[in-house]
Amino acid sequence: LTMGQSDVNVRGIVLETESVRTFDRDDGSEGRVANFLLGDETGRVRVTLWDERADRATELDPATAVEVVDGYVRERDGDLELHVGEQGAVDEIEADVDFVPETDPIDGVEMDDVVDLAGVVRSADPKRTFDRDDGSEGQVRNVRIQDDTGDIRVALWGEKADKEIAPGDEVFVADAEIQDGWQDDLEASAGWRSTV
């Protein structure tokens, strides 16, 4: 995919979906938007669904093969995204689509890296809530994952804290940011740009 492309058709497998959000447009009307992550053998891309297409994200299950029809490519925070508006669609298809993520070894992560990690869950803390500076409530859940090289705490923020993850599960965490942990160690932070 390249910036500015339009009439884009892409096949892939749904990796993660997000709920629909609303926003106020400049003209006072309400807009709707939702995202899901799409992967294939070449990589992954965030798909943004606008207005009447937004509900489609909530209808898709992870591991479903889909084709995005008549999408267009935009940039957000330095990353390319595939957008679907009223001219586009997301159709379920009967196809085998491979997604084999390349991951970073846990013992090689460094402060401020953005990494892809895979491993087995060793422990999973209960979800906890907190008050943000703006008065809204946030939530986070910490899990510890281990690969062949080491282990690391992963902070799951927002909706990601609701995921059903238990010790023994195998997980893939994409686009996690390595930060200073609260126990003077490194932790992986999985926020809105991350996929779990």
Comma-separated ranges of CATH 2.40.50.140 domains in the chain: 8-92, 106-190
Whether the pLDDT of residue 71 is over 90: the answer is yes
Q: What is the pTM of this model?
A: 0.69
Q: How far apart are the first and last CA of the chain?
A: 23
Under CATH, what is the fold of the domain 8-92?
A: OB fold (Dihydrolipoamide Acetyltransferase, E2P) (2.40.50)
Which among 150, 137, 147 has a CA at the least distance from the CA of 172? 147
Residues counted in the chain: 196
Q: Write down the pLDDT at residue 122.
A: 97
Identify the weakest region by mean pLDDT among 39-48, 78-87, 95-104, 187-196.
95-104
Residues 67 and 6: their CA atoms lie apart, in Å, by 15
Q: Write down the pLDDT at residue 96.
A: 87
**Whether CATH 3.30.465.10 fits 106-190:** no
Secondary structure (3-state) at 158: helix
